[in-house]
């Protein structure tokens, strides 16, 4: 399937590892040029060089913390006019509502919500100048099916999903499509690291399988590439009539219709 992404330019936050890196590779495979955003500049530069060499595209790294206004401003200034924005930066949480301090709530709000708000404000004008574009927000199944131990993550991802819908309504007349992807279990380095901490080197795979079994559905973790291919489709001309929607890539974990 021809996605018509050749020579487009994409910004991917959290683009140096996990789902974000897989999205970068999926877009590069279609000929898309990239800005990989992450806090670790050396890792970003290494991945940008590798992707550029492997796929023959332009790839650059921008070292920035998009949980801050200054980090978002740095991305906007360095990227210039682009065609695609992937708001992917994020991380899980672990707390109770009774015990979590304001500072933790504020950090996750800035990372999951305000980063998307700030980058949209700064990068949408360039999309308009280029005649349109696509924005995809990586939220989570937890936005609608919360896990008890991460109320802050649940809440901020739900807010991101609503922001995405609202932004879609605002820019639909500018030929800019905005959608949300809600992944379920995805086998990222963070999941593997946590599983090893809990169950050790010899037991982490069994631990992960137990998590997948409890989730139900396909009873397995997705590879990051399985989410990335869907995101690439949403960025493409093949999804030209899709905007303002939320798509679940969760292997059947969602318990509702």
E strand residue ranges, the chain: 9-13, 33-38, 59-63, 84-87, 133-138, 176-183, 246-249
Domain presence at residue 1: no
Domain presence at residue 46: yes
- Candidates 51, 47, 70, 61; CA nearest to 11 is 61
CA geometry: angle 210, 25, 247, nearest 5 deg: 55
Domain presence at residue 87: yes
Bridge partners of 12?
Answer: 36, 86
Same domain, 169 and 203: no
Q: Identify the band that residue 1 occupies on the pLDDT scale cut at 50, 70 and 90.
A: confident
Q: Identify the band that residue 201 occupies on the pLDDT scale cut at 50, 70 and 90.
A: very high
Domain presence at residue 49: yes
Asked if residues 199 and 192 have their Cβ atoms less than 8 Å apart, the reply is: no
Domain presence at residue 253: no
Taking only the tens place, the pLDDT of each residue in 55-86 is 999 999 999 999 999 999 999 999 999 999 99
Domain presence at residue 40: yes
Domain presence at residue 33: yes
CA–CA separation, 164 and 28 (whole Å): 24
Same domain, 177 and 73: yes
What letter would DSSP give residue 57? S
Domain that holds residue 112: 9-186+223-248
Same domain, 73 and 128: yes
Same domain, 166 and 192: no
Bridge partners of 37?
Answer: 13, 62
Tell me, what's the pLDDT at 90?
A: 97
Q: Cα Rg for the chain, rounded, in angstroms?
A: 18
What letter would DSSP give residue 186? B
Mean predicted confidence (pLDDT) in 16-23: 98
Tell me, what's the pLDDT at 170?
A: 98
Number of domains in the chain: 2
Same domain, 90 and 207: no
Residues with a catalytic annotation lie at 153
Locus of tokens 């065609």 = 83
Same domain, 103 and 214: no
CATH number (domain holding residue 134): 3.40.50.720
- The pLDDT of residue 168 is above 90: yes
Same domain, 64 and 176: yes
Asked if residues 27 and 10 have their Cβ atoms less than 8 Å apart, the reply is: yes
Same domain, 31 and 115: yes
Domain presence at residue 56: yes
């Amino acid at each position: 399937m021809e996605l018509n992404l050749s020579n487009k330019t994409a910004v991917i936050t959290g683009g140096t590892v996990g789902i974000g890196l897989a999205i970068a590779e999926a877009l590069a495979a279609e000929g898309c040029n990239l800005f990989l955003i992450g806090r670790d500049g050396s890792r970003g530069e290494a991945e940008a060089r590798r992707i550029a060499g492997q796929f023959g595209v332009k790839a650059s790294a921008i070292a920035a913390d998009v949980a801050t206004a200054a980090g978002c401003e740095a991305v906007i200034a360095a990227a210039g006019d682009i065609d695609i924005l992937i708001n992917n930066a994020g991380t899980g949480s672990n707390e109770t509502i009774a015990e979590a301090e304001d500072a933790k709530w504020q950090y996750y709000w800035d990372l999951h919500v305000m980063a998307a708000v700030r980058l949209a404000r700064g990068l949408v004008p360039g999309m308009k100048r280029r005649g349109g574009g696509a924005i995809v927000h990586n939220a989570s199944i937890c936005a609608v099916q919360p896990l008890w131990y991460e109320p802050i993550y649940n809440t901020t991802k739900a807010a991101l999903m609503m922001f995405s819908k609202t932004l879609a309504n605002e820019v639909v007349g500018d030929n800019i499509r905005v959608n949300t992807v809600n992944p379920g279990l995805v086998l990222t380095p963070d999941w593997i690291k946590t599983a090893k901490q809990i169950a050790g080197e010899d037991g982490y795979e069994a631990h992960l399988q137990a998590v997948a079994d409890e989730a139900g559905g396909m009873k397995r973790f997705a590879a990051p590439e399985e989410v990335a291919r869907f995101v690439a489709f949403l960025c493409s001309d093949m999804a030209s009539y899709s905007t303002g929607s939320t798509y679940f890539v969760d292997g059947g974990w969602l318990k509702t219709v």
